[in-house]
């Protein structure tokens, strides 16, 4: 924003009014403005501000910046079991994007996301619209029930589903047996992605629903009255008024979900021991990075994969937000 200010024509307008928002303008206004007695107050402010963010800054540096820097440094080196350790510039990154295991994982996750994300967010939106419309005690119960799986730790959830999917004990199989459709191998190659998708949907639908529901609650009620007067039914109100108005919340949930999906880890990791011939160590990029580091001791390559995945996530979410900038509220 400071760039914008400097490039702007030398008009009479004070700098702080040019595309600056909220809190910043008074502060910068004061700072760049008259140099008088208020200067010291400003410095005191600044010192106080610095003091207040120091604890955060230290923790941030120690637990995010430093490990990231270390991981990046690791990713620029190559150490093999017998070749020793040497600096190799971006060789690991080059390998990452030609590594069939990594690419297969990215593809698998992409296919998974293309199906699972719309289903889950569709359900979440439907749920939010329903409980927004129906304001009875039933709606509260419904809301709690849908949200509950989110409160179950992912590991427990995946373990539980691992049991439900079991070919011998699982109710799913008993049911299909009773219906005479034979054995359904929910943990086999062909159905594994579906089974995982089901776990993720079960876990996260309620969470997304609550976010959307909160956005719906924030809408002004008069709009509905106006719509009613114009002759809109409940469905029309939902489609033409409510959904467009909460689109920024929808963009938000979508983005979190995309990031979560690219980092898909817990569920396949938990089901891995039960179905290790299906969930191979390279099943998802994140799982691959984990196994490279802790099973094969390839810390360098693992770091490169993690960074590459991070880059994919970052670029992906940036592009997505850019494409959805009108709806996202980030103009």
Contacts of 131 (CB under 8 A, 6+ apart): 139, 142, 143, 209, 213
- Interface with another protein by CB under 8 A: which residues? 80-84, 159, 163, 166-169, 188-190, 273-278, 280-281, 291, 294-297, 299
Query: Smallest distance from the beta carbon of 13 to another protein, in angstroms?
Result: 57
Query: Smallest distance from the beta carbon of 159 to another protein, in angstroms?
Result: 7
Contacts of 31 (CB under 8 A, 6+ apart): 42
Q: Which of residues 18 and 172 has its CB atom nearest to another protein in the complex?
A: 172
Query: Smallest distance from the beta carbon of 116 to another protein, in angstroms?
Result: 22
Residue 74, CA distances (Å) to 11, 64, 77, 147, 290 in order: 50, 15, 5, 40, 15
Q: Which of residues 46 and 94 has its CB atom nearest to another protein in the complex?
A: 94
Q: Distance between CA 153 and CA 266 in Å, rounded?
A: 10
Q: Which of residues 158 and 251 has its CB atom nearest to another protein in the complex?
A: 158
Strand partners, 77: 87
For the chain, what's the residue count?
331
Q: Which of residues 33 and 167 has its CB atom nearest to another protein in the complex?
A: 167
Residue 144, CA distances (Å) to 32, 137, 180, 187 in order: 52, 11, 35, 30
Query: Smallest distance from the beta carbon of 114 to another protein, in angstroms?
Result: 23
Q: Which of residues 56 and 87 has its CB atom nearest to another protein in the complex?
A: 87
Query: Smallest distance from the beta carbon of 187 to another protein, in angstroms?
Result: 8
Query: Smallest distance from the beta carbon of 101 to another protein, in angstroms?
Result: 10
Q: Which of residues 236 and 295 has its CB atom nearest to another protein in the complex?
A: 295
Contact between 81 and 296 under an 8 Å Cβ cutoff? The reply is: no
Tell me the backbone φ, ψ of residue 84, rounded to 5 degrees. Answer: 85, -165
Contact between 271 and 159 under an 8 Å Cβ cutoff? The reply is: no
Of 286, 285, 304, nearest to 76 (Cα)? 304
Q: Which of residues 52 and 59 has its CB atom nearest to another protein in the complex?
A: 59
Query: Smallest distance from the beta carbon of 68 to another protein, in angstroms?
Result: 17
Contact between 47 and 62 under an 8 Å Cβ cutoff? The reply is: no
Strand partners, 84: 80
């Amino acid at each position: 924003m400071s760039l914008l200010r400097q490039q702007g024509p030398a008009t009479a307008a004070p700098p702080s009014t040019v595309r600056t928002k909220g809190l910043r303008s008074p502060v910068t206004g004061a700072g760049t403005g008259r140099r008088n007695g208020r200067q010291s107050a400003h410095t005191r402010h600044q010192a106080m501000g610095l003091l207040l963010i120091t604890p955060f800054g230290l923790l941030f540096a120690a637990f995010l910046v430093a490990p990231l820097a270390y991981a990046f440094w690791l990713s620029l080196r190559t150490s093999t079991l017998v070749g020793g350790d040497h600096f190799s510039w971006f060789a690991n990154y080059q390998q990452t994007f030609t590594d069939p295991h990594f690419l297969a994982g990215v593809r698998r996750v992409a296919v998974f996301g293309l199906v699972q994300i719309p289903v889950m967010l569709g359900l979440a939106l439907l749920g939010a619209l329903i409980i927004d419309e129906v304001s009875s005690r039933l709606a509260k119960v419904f809301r709690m029930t849908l949200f509950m799986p989110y409160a179950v730790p992912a590991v427990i959830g995946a373990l539980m589903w691992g049991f439900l999917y079991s070919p011998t004990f699982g109710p799913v199989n008993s049911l299909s047996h009773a219906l005479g459709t034979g054995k359904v191998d929910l943990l086999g190659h062909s159905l594994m992605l579906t089974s995982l998708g089901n776990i993720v949907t079960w876990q996260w639908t309620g969470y997304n629903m609550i976010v959307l529901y909160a956005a719906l609650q924030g809408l002004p009620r008069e709009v509905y009255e106006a719509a009613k007067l114009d002759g809109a039914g409940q469905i029309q109100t939902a489609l033409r008024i409510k959904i467009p108005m909460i689109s920024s919340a929808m963009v938000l949930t979508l983005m979190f979900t995309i990031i979560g999906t690219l980092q898909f880890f817990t569920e396949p990791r938990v089901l891995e021991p039960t179905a290790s011939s299906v969930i191979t160590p390279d099943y998802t990029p994140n799982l691959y990075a984990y196994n490279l580091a802790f099973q094969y001791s390839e810390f360098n390559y693992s770091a490169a994969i993690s960074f590459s995945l991070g880059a994919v996530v970052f670029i992906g979410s940036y592009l997505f937000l850019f494409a959805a900038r009108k709806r996202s509220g980030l103009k």
